[in-house]
């Protein structure tokens, strides 16, 4: 039997066990209603599985969209996607580091090439520190940018005549 068949049988067995309170075969009253505790367990299991399935669907769907966009339009398509995401979400995002930056730095500084540098960078302490600094600066500059926007919306003050 295939692995997926085994998983299906396991899932089916889990479901049968999971719904025992509904399909009671122990000779008790067939009209038995589940207890509050049984319903609570069932509901929490159901909701947990539903959230996991939704997360997996979302992750796979997003990956498929990005892969297709990359395949059809390359870097330009990814830039358009980022701009569309920014517009929709009300964000201003920017590219902090590109893998080419890391490759150049590794090669110039250490004479090595690491094809997984971008993945390793995401897990690095230095990137975490950079993100913390960016988050702190974000508040400061949001205030300064807001002030600049506000000042530009004020009507121009009348010029003084000097005679």
pLDDT (tens digit, 9 = 90+) per residue, 97-126? 999 999 999 999 999 999 999 999 999 999
Domain count, the chain: 1
Q: What is the pLDDT along the chain (163 residues), one digit of tens a residue?
A: 444 455 444 555 555 555 555 555 555 555 678 788 887 888 788 778 888 888 888 889 999 999 999 999 999 999 999 999 999 999 998 888 999 999 999 999 999 999 999 999 999 999 999 999 999 999 999 999 999 999 999 887 666 666 5
- Domain-embedded: residue 139: yes
Q: Which DSSP letter does residue 161 get?
A: P
- Domain-embedded: residue 85: no
pLDDT at position 80: 94
Boundaries of domain holding 100: 95-154
- Domain-embedded: residue 41: no
Q: HSE of 130 in the Cβ direction (CA atoms, 13 Å)?
A: 10
- Domain-embedded: residue 36: no
pTM metric for this prediction: 0.54
Euclidean distance between CA atoms 19 and 39, whole angstroms: 10
- Domain-embedded: residue 112: yes
Q: Which of 109, 83, 113, 110 is nearest to 99 (CA)?
A: 113
- Domain-embedded: residue 83: no
Q: Which DSSP letter does residue 97 get?
A: -
pLDDT tens for residues 141-154? 999 999 999 999 98
């Amino acid at each position: 039997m295939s692995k997926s068949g085994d998983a299906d049988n396991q899932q089916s067995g889990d479901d049968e066990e999971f719904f025992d309170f509904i399909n009671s075969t122990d000779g008790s009253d067939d009209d038995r209603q589940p207890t509050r505790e049984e319903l609570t367990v069932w509901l929490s299991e159901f909701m947990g599985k539903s959230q996991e399935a939704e997360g997996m669907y979302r992750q796979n769907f997003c990956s498929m969209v990005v892969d297709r966009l990359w395949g059809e339009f390359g870097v330009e398509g990814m830039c358009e996607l980022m701009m569309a995401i920014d517009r929709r979400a009300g964000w201003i995002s920017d590219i902090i580091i590109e893998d080419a930056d890391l490759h150049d730095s590794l090669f110039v500084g250490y004479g090595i090439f690491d094809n997984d540098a971008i993945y390793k960078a995401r897990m690095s302490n230095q990137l975490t520190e950079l993100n913390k600094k960016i988050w702190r600066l974000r508040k400061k500059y949001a205030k300064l940018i807001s002030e600049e926007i506000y000042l530009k919306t004020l009507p121009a003050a009348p010029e003084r005549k000097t005679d």
